[in-house]
């Protein structure tokens, strides 16, 4: 018997503790029933206390990874994660336009929730000019949406305003992740703005935990997997929001400070 799985790609950094980056994307792909591949853009030395060192990959090596995958595979959808600097962004944009790797989910990774910078500030303009216009789906967290638009976000209505600005920059669909730093809040509300101009919010229970490393990666790679499996975008967003909430709520005991979410949680897709 030959099993067929949709093939998907993450263009991302490696986070050696497995909580985020390419490792989290691959775990999520597997949970979602798709075959995952990776173009490595950088590697970080990190653990549950934070990120201690970072190393971008040479652009020629990034080019080579794209070309060998394009020679051999039929990639249905892809995502980007950590891209470090303007040169890496330009390399990824060039390769994405050269090959047919399906819809692009752009997770504009700028900073981890513990304050480690993963994209140089000088590269924000390149992200806007070279990559955001290629995005089928853009998934900024609250901080990234503020940085990229200048909108002060306090409410879901503010997040929607930022989403409109990001759409004007060229992203077709925008998913702005909600704020979640308040142990008194009952729900975390994300906001989606679709290409046809319709918008909706997605609210799930707030979970008071320190084990939330890699939430953004799980969300964006789950969206990629749903797209590759032919799901409508609205359904892809709903499934990803429910999966990330379940992975946060069912904590695993890994690391001594800020642990990873639970990719292995029992969840029906």
Ligand X SMILES: Cc1ncc(COP(=O)(O)OP(=O)(O)O)c(N)n1
Ligand Y SMILES: Nc1ncnc2c1ncn2[C@@H]1O[C@H](COP(=O)(O)OP(=O)(O)O)[C@@H](O)[C@H]1O
Residue 11 lies near ligand X (rule: CB under 6 A): no
CA 211 to chain centre: 17
Give, as ranges, the residues between 106 and 135 that touch ligand X (CB under 6 A): 109, 112-113, 118
Residue 44 lies near ligand X (rule: CB under 6 A): yes
Residue 28 lies near ligand X (rule: CB under 6 A): no
Per DSSP, 57 falls in state P
Residue 44 touches which member of ligand X, ligand Y, none, C-beta under 5-8 Å by kind: ligand X
Q: Given strand 173-176, what is the order of strands in its sheet?
A: 50-56, 35-47, 7-15, 75-80, 104-106, 137-138, 173-176, 187-193, 199-205
Residues 6+ apart with CB under 8 A from 202: 189, 190, 191, 192, 237, 238, 241
Residues 6+ apart with CB under 8 A from 4: none
Containing H/E element for 81? none
Q: Which stretch binds ligand Y (CB under 6 A): 28-36, 80-88, 163-171, 214-222?
A: 214-222
Q: Which residue is nearest to ligand X (CB)?
A: 21
Residue 21 lies near ligand Y (rule: CB under 6 A): no
Give the distance between the most distant pair of CA atoms in the chain.
55
Among residues 256 and 268, whose Cβ is nearest to ligand X? 256
Rounded Cα distance, 25 and 9, in Å: 9
Binding mask 226-245 for ligand Y (x = CB under 6 A): ---------------x--xx
* Least Cβ distance, residue 116 to ligand X (angstroms): 7
Residue 162 tokens, joined: 């930022």
Residue 231 lies near ligand X (rule: CB under 6 A): no
Rounded Cα distance, 245 and 54, in Å: 29
Instruction: Kindly list the residues in this chain that would bind ligand X in the complex (CB under 6 A).
Output: 12-15, 20-21, 44, 46, 81-82, 109, 112-113, 118, 212-217
Instruction: Kindly list the residues in this chain that would bind ligand Y in the complex (CB under 6 A).
Output: 113, 141, 177-178, 180, 188, 190, 206-207, 212, 215-216, 219, 241, 244-245, 248
């Amino acid at each position: 018997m030959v099993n067929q799985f949709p093939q998907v790609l993450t263009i991302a950094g490696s986070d050696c503790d497995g909580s985020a980056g390419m490792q989290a994307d691959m775990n999520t792909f597997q949970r979602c029933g798709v075959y995952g591949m990776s173009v490595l853009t950088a590697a970080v030395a990190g653990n549950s206390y934070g990120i201690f060192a970072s190393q971008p990959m040479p652009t020629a090596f990034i080019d080579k990874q794209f070309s060998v995958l394009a020679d051999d595979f039929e990639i249905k959808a892809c995502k980007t994660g950590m891209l470090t600097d303007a040169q890496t962004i330009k390399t990824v944009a060039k390769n994405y336009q050269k090959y047919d790797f399906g819809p692009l989910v752009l997770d504009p990774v700028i900073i981890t929730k513990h304050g480690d910078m993963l994209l140089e500030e000088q590269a924000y303009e390149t992200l806007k000019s070279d990559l955001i216009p290629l995005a089928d789906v853009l998934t900024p967290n609250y901080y990234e949406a503020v940085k990229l638009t200048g909108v002060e976000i306090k409410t879901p209505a503010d997040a929607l305003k930022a989403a409109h600005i990001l759409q004007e920059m060229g992203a077709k669909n925008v998913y702005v992740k909600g704020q979640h730093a308040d142990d008194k809040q009952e729900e975390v509300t994300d906001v989606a703005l679709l290409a046809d101009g319709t918008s909706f919010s997605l609210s799930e229970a707030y979970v008071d935990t320190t084990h939330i490393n890699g939430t953004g990666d799980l969300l964006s790679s789950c969206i990629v997997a749903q797209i590759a499996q032919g799901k409508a975008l609205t359904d892809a967003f709903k499934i990803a929001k429910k999966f990330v909430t379940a992975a946060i709520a069912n904590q695993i005991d890994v690391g001594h400070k800020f642990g990873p979410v639970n990719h292995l949680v029992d969840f029906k897709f």
